[in-house]
Structure 1
Amino acid sequence: MEKLGFVVETPLIQRLQRRHFLLFDVLPLLLVLATPLYWSYLYRSYFEVLLFALMWLATGLGITVGYHRLFTHKSFQAAWPVQVILAILGSMAAQGGVTSWVAIHRLHHEKSDSEGDLHSPNQNGTGLVNRLKGLLHSHFLWMSRHPYPNVVRYAPDLLRNGHVAAINRNYYRIVLAGIVFPAFAGYLYHGDARGVLSGLYWGGVLRIFVLEHIIWSINSFLHVFGARDYETKESSRNVGALGLITLGESWHNNHHRFANSPSFGLKWYNLDPGFWLIKLFEIAGVAWDLRLPDAKQVDGRRLMR
């Protein structure tokens, strides 16, 4: 255990990390790589494309709006039903329980790109080989075994939130529900076992695989490639062209400069679907206290071009 109990490492925690890594990180990768073996058994209609898109969008918003902007950074307040829905959808993304995810991300902001950052791509030295090792570590391999942030220190607010704590305890059941639901939808639409397999693949396996690599790319590639509009203590970058597919997360340098802002794009014309959803929540009266920086702060802190 590190001094002051900031992180914890025990054999039990390491076994749980390996299990999660194999189940939800390695297995989807292997199943997608093996797609040619069973491609002919899958339905490939507009229904499957829609099922994939809806499951990807719902669980992706659960991560960026729920796990990230609401629970980690408390960039806005939300009614408890919204909190519950976002926590459930985020859990279905198979990125870890909400309490663990929040603790890890808060540690990331505290130690970003320095000693103690669990997934920095910039801690392996210089040179092409070392840079590639750093990217591979930050994108994927770090999850197989890593120091576990002490949730009592990093996420005490979530431990006190009864609704979130209950969802966190049922994380594996919720992940399973996120896989069973599209399989059942495939059966209802097609009425046969092939429909079940297709729903399982498109709305479950492929959706998890695509979403997790989009999310991981924020940790890896967006700490190496892209534009730096603000001077920050780490090497976060912006890639605005990826704003839609990352649901706004690709404005990563903006986020590190204004970590408590519910808007990552900062400007109205910067594509940030996660913030659009938060604004809809605000209009509906189920979200409030959006902690937006004012225009003077946003423009005054930009790097000179």
Structure 2
Amino acid sequence: MTTALEKPREATGGGPKPMLDGQHGRVEQALIYIFTIVPFVALVAAVPLAWGWGLSWVDIAIGAVFFCISGMGVTVGYHRYFTHGSFKAKRGLRVGLAIAGSMSLQGSVIKWVADHRRHHAFSDREGDPHSPWLFGTGPIALAKGFWHAHMGWLYERDLTNRDRFAPDLVADQDLERVDKLFPVWTVVSLLAPAALGGLISWSWWGVLTGFFWAGLVRVAVLHHVTWSVNSICHMIGERPFAARDKSANFWPLAILSFGESWHNLHHADPTSARHGVQRGQIDISARTIWLFEKLGWAWNVRWPSPQRLARISVAK
């Protein structure tokens, strides 16, 4: 099966490039720790804080809006569009999806795509940046693997080679600009909810609670939903389709992940624009792509066909 990874590599016209491209610098590594640990601390503090003070319907509404924008920036933009080419998009939508994905604070668009294409190239094998199966199958090994797949891999300093895994994005001037402005999108993602909270409540208290709930806590929740697809969805769940790895469907995450937790189908057919293909499988990202198609913003959408699904289904 040809993966989305192989197409941009062929476009380079050269021989194979190394998988890694140096290491994170100390400043970048420190920022990774800050932007993964600080939102998580806020998430841990959220329960006692919500019990006593500080959570309003305004904070919930702002948080929900930014969760959807940044979350689908990752699922529709970073993942299905930029990584796998599930559809073609007009320039405005392409840039908008890159910015929305950047606001998830999961890394710049080119870095994220390079890491994810590398994941598919070596899924659950040596070279996969976040497989939970790299340390063995015993209880201790699986616990170590879960931590590594969920977030431990983020603290490793190796950099995926962008020129090997994402040359098409590197060659796109619009995406290079968005990629380089990642610090700006990070600031916008955290301060815009605070500004909205202050303007709606017309108070500094609204600024503080907007920053805490719709900024830090929202980022932390989205982080762990995304990371759960890397960890949980490669360990437990149903596998109705034939994939070359241990990817699985995990239904409890379907809504929060906007359909990404129908992960087995995705690994069986990576370029498919729809991951939830069976009856009752909610896939909000696919419905959003359908809307973009109807509006004329997206075309050549790779919807799954009955014939394709029949070929990759596991016989029962």
> Quick check: 1:24–1:94 contact (8 Å CA) kept in 2?
yes
- Residue 9 (structure 2) pairs with residue 9 (structure 1): no
Residue 278 (structure 1) aligns with? 289
Q: 1:98 pairs with 98, 103, 109, which one?
A: 109
Of the three residues 221, 224, 238, the one matched with 2:249 is 238
Q: Which moved more, 1:266-275 or 1:80-89?
A: 266-275
The two structures have a TM-score, normalised by structure 2, of 0.91
Q: 1:277 to 1:203 in 2, by over 3 A?
A: same
Q: Secondary structure at the match of 1:148?
A: strand
Partner Cα distance (1:117, 1:17) in 2: 22
- Give the partner amino acid of 1:119: H
CA distance, structure 1, for counterparts of residue 125 and residue 225 of structure 2: 23
CA distance in 2, matches of 1:246, 1:294: 23
The letter of the residue matching 1:110 is: A
Q: How far is 1:165 from its partner? A: 1.1
Residue 248 of structure 1 aligns with which residue?
Answer: 259
Corresponding letter in the other structure for 1:7: L
Matching residue of 2:8:
none
Q: How far did residue 65 of structure 1 move? A: 0.2
Structure-2 residue corresponding to 1:129: 140
With 68-77 and 138-147 compared, the bigger mean Cα shift is at 138-147
Change (3 A) 1:42 1:99: farther
For normalisation by structure 1, the TM-score amounts to 0.94
Answer yes or no: is the 8 Å Cα contact 1:240–1:271 preserved in 2.
no
Contact 1:17/1:145, CA 8 A, preserved across alignment:
no
| Bigger mean CA offset, 157-166 vs 25-34 | 25-34
Question: Which of 188, 192, 195 in structure 1 is aligned with 2:199?
Answer: 188
Quote how far apart the aligned CAs of 1:32 are: 2.5
Q: CA deviation at 1:243?
A: 1.7
Match of 2:22, as an amino acid? E
Q: Which amino acid aligns with 2:205?
A: R
Q: Secondary structure at the match of 1:5?
A: coil
In 2 relative to 1, CA 106–78 (structure 1 residues): closer, same or farther, beyond 3 Å? Answer: same
Report the AA paired with residue 222 of structure 1. Answer: C
Q: In percent, how many aligned pairs have the same letter?
A: 34
By how many angstroms is 1:192 displaced?
A: 1.6
Match of 2:186 in 1: 175
> 1:147-202 CA distances to partner (integer Å, 9 max, x unpaired)?
21110111111111121111100001101101110000110111222111110011
Matched pairs, number: 301
Of stretches 260-269 and 61-70 in structure 1, the one that deviates more from structure 2 is 260-269
Contact (CA 8 Å) 1:42, 1:195: kept in 2 or not? Answer: no
Identify the range of structure 1 (179-188 vs 44-53) with the bigger mean alpha-carbon deviation: 44-53
Give every structure 1 segment of 4 or more consecutive aligned residues whose post-TM-superposition deviation is greater than 6 Å: none
User: Is 1:303 matched up with 2:276?
Assistant: no
Per-residue CA deviations over 1:53-91 (Å, capped at 9, x if unaligned) read 111111100000000000000110000111111111100
Counterpart Cα distance in 2 of 1:241 and 1:35 = 22
- Residue 31 of structure 1 deviates from its aligned partner by 2.5
Aligned partner of 1:59 in structure 2 is 70
Name the SS for the 1:285 alignment partner: coil
Unaligned runs of 5+ in 1: none
C-alpha RMSD of the superposition:
1.7
Going from structure 1 to structure 2, the CA distance change for 1:146 and 1:251 (only over 3 Å counts) comes to farther
Q: Is the 8 A contact 1:17 1:143 kept in 2?
A: no
**Rounded Cα–Cα distance in structure 2 between residues aligned with 1:8 and 1:167:** 21
Letter in 2 for 1:202: W
1:218-271 CA distance string (max 9 Å, x none): 000110000011121110001234321110101101000110111111247421
Kindly indicate whether the alpha-carbon contact (under 8 Å) linking 1:72 and 1:105 is maintained by their aligned counterparts in 2. yes
Task: Please name the residue that 1:29 is paired with.
Answer: 40
Which secondary structure does the structure 2 equivalent of 1:293 belong to? coil
CA 1:187/1:87 → structure 2, altered by over 3 Å: closer, same or farther? same
Q: Which runs of 5+ in 2 are unaligned?
A: 1-15
How far 1:117 sits from its partner (Å)?
0.6
Instruction: Report deviation, 1:126.
Output: 2.0
CA distance in 2, matches of 1:20, 1:262: 33
Cα distance, 1:111–1:188 mapped onto 2, change above 3 Å: same
Whole-Å Cα distance in 1 between the matches of residues 267 and 200 of structure 2? Answer: 44
Query: 1:38-117 residue pairs with structure 2 within 5 A?
Result: 43-117=54-128
